[in-house]
Amino acid sequence: MGFACGFVGLPNVGKSTLFNALCHGGAAAANFPFCTIEPNTGIVPVPDPRVNKLVELEHSAKTVPATMKFIDIAGLVEGASKGEGLGNQFLGHIRTVDAIAHVVRLFDDSDIVHVKDSVNPARDLELILTELMLADLEVLQKKIEKTKKMTRCGGDPEAKQEMELAQTFVESLEQGVIPTYDKTDATISKLAEGLQLLTLIPAFVCANTDEAHFKSFGKDDLSKQLIAEAAKHGMEVIPVCAKLEEELQELDPEEAKVFLEDLGVEESGLERVIHTGYKMLNYLTFFTTGPDETRAWTVTKGATAPQAAGKIHTDMQRGFIRMEVVSYDDLMQYGSWNGAKEAGKLRIEGKDYIVQDGDCCFVRFSV
């Protein structure tokens, strides 16, 4: 599994329609709030042309790409942080994802009623983030009160440090700013993750467009305002047109390439969503490949050889001896593992080796 991405947004912005277009999930899509109550889930392969190239090279009997899970979460309404709409149930579903796609509406359709009676994606994004910030403020205030009682009784230094961090987060949220912290500090990072704040989940914005707005995106006033609003919070905006995505699904790779070129874009919406998620989460892909199977694996950048081996099987991490590594480029250049070895491109790496994107690996282990 690559990562789980939750679609979050107001009712009737087209989350379920977009979900269906991206992963053929078959989620209900109807013109009333809370059509989606339980999250719908769809799994799609991560597009990576290197996988098919390795399959061809090794004549692999089986192909297993990395995958991404989409989760279509029920629509958020103003006051969700106080229990309005699906309230806590909705917020609880968000906590299960690795990344959030804030879906906002950038299409006109008189048959689909907008809960705010007008199309204004920048306003909608502000409303979504406000609700998440209010929910986080409530969590933090409870944490601070609980920690204050502990520290009065002596407590431990970590509890005090957690309270101080929580207080700085409260200050940011009260100013309408998503909190930040030093992610290079392992202690602070652990404390921040332990708070389980919704606003700390990596997020980007998915603008659900019609064909007209897709072609004018970045030029018309509505999309410019949305891009500016997202930039305040350090978020990237990806325009996606459900109709175009559905058409792309029906084309073969060469036809899809020509179709995208005619639109003036390099990647489909699905590809942009996946690649944006990988970039935000600091992920990379390594491979295992041979006659039996070629498989893509996802790890966080900075993962050691044993940690990567553990993605394949926990026994491999537990009994790790060494990892034999050839880069994807070298393997393709020299045509085989033996060819790469003869050229001096096969490396024997130990426990301290940091796995790189595109590494083709064979793990030696003993348990």
pLDDT tens digit string along 67-122? 888 888 766 656 544 544 444 555 777 778 899 999 999 987 766 556 666 889 99
Tens digit of pLDDT for each residue in 200-222? Answer: 999 999 999 988 889 889 999 99
In this predicted structure, the answer to whether residue 275 has a pLDDT above a threshold of 50 is yes
Report the pLDDT averaged over residues 336-347.
96
d(CA 46, CA 44): 6
Q: For residue 357, what pLDDT is reported?
A: 97
* Rounded Cα gap, residues 296 and 307, in angstroms: 15
CA atoms within 13 A on the CB side of 314: 0
d(CA 167, CA 96): 24
The whole-number pLDDT of residue 115 equals 61
Q: Which two tokens stand for residue 81?
A: 């942080």
Tell me how far apart the alpha carbons of residues 361 and 355 are, in angstroms, rounded to a whole number.
9
**pLDDT over 50 at 365, yes or no:** yes
Tokens for 317, please give them: 């991490």
CB of 106 within 8 A of CB of 239? yes
Tell me the pLDDT band of 2, cut-offs 50, 70 and 90: low
Most confident of 120-129, 244-253, 314-323: 314-323
Phi-psi region of 347 (alpha: psi -120 to 50; beta: other; left: phi over 0): beta
Which residues make beta-bridge pairs with 44? 68
**CA 186 to CA 158: how far, in whole Å?**
13
What percentage of the chain carries pLDDT values higher than 90?
53
Closest CA to 197 of 170, 216, 219: 170
Helix axes 15-23, 242-249, angle to 10 degrees: 20
* Predicted pLDDT of residue 114: 60
Closest of 19, 64, 22, 70 to residue 43, by C-alpha? 70
Q: What pLDDT shows up at residue 78?
A: 60
106 pairs with which residues across the strands? Answer: 209
DSSP for 53-94, please give it.
HHHHHHT-SEEE--EEEEEEPPPP-TTGGGT-TTHHHHHHHH
Judged against a pLDDT cut of 90, whether residue 171 lies above it is answered with yes
Most confident residue range from 76-80, 183-187, 359-363: 359-363
Average pLDDT over residues 252-279: 88
Q: What percent of the chain has pLDDT over 70?
A: 86
Q: Rounded to the nearest 5°, which phi and psi values hold at 350? A: -100, -160
The reported pLDDT for the residue numbered 350 is 97
Please give the model's pTM, rounded to 2 decimal places.
Answer: 0.83
Query: How far is it, in rounded angstroms, from Cα 290 to Cα 298?
Result: 18
Helix 157-174 vs helix 186-195: angle between axes, to the nearest 10 degrees?
Answer: 70
* 51-55, 143-147, 238-242, 260-264, range with greatest mean pLDDT: 51-55
CA distance 88 to 135: 9
Measure CA 286 to chain center. 18
Give the per-residue pLDDT at 17: 81
Higher pLDDT, 60 or 260: 60
- Listed in sequence order, the residues at least 6 apart from 152 whose beta carbon sits closer than 8 Å to its beta carbon are none
pLDDT at residue number 157: 75
How far is C-alpha 296 from the chain's CA centre? 17
| Token reading at 80 | 């969700």
Structure confidence at residue 23 (pLDDT)? 78
Average pLDDT, the chain: 86
State the Rg of the chain over Cα.
23
> For 3-41, what is each residue's pLDDT tens digit?
789 888 888 888 878 888 887 644 333 333 333 334 578
Backbone CA torsion sign across 72, 74, 77, 79 = negative
| Helix, strand, coil % over all residues of the chain, rounded to 5 | 45, 20, 35
Cα gap 67→54, rounded to integer Å: 17
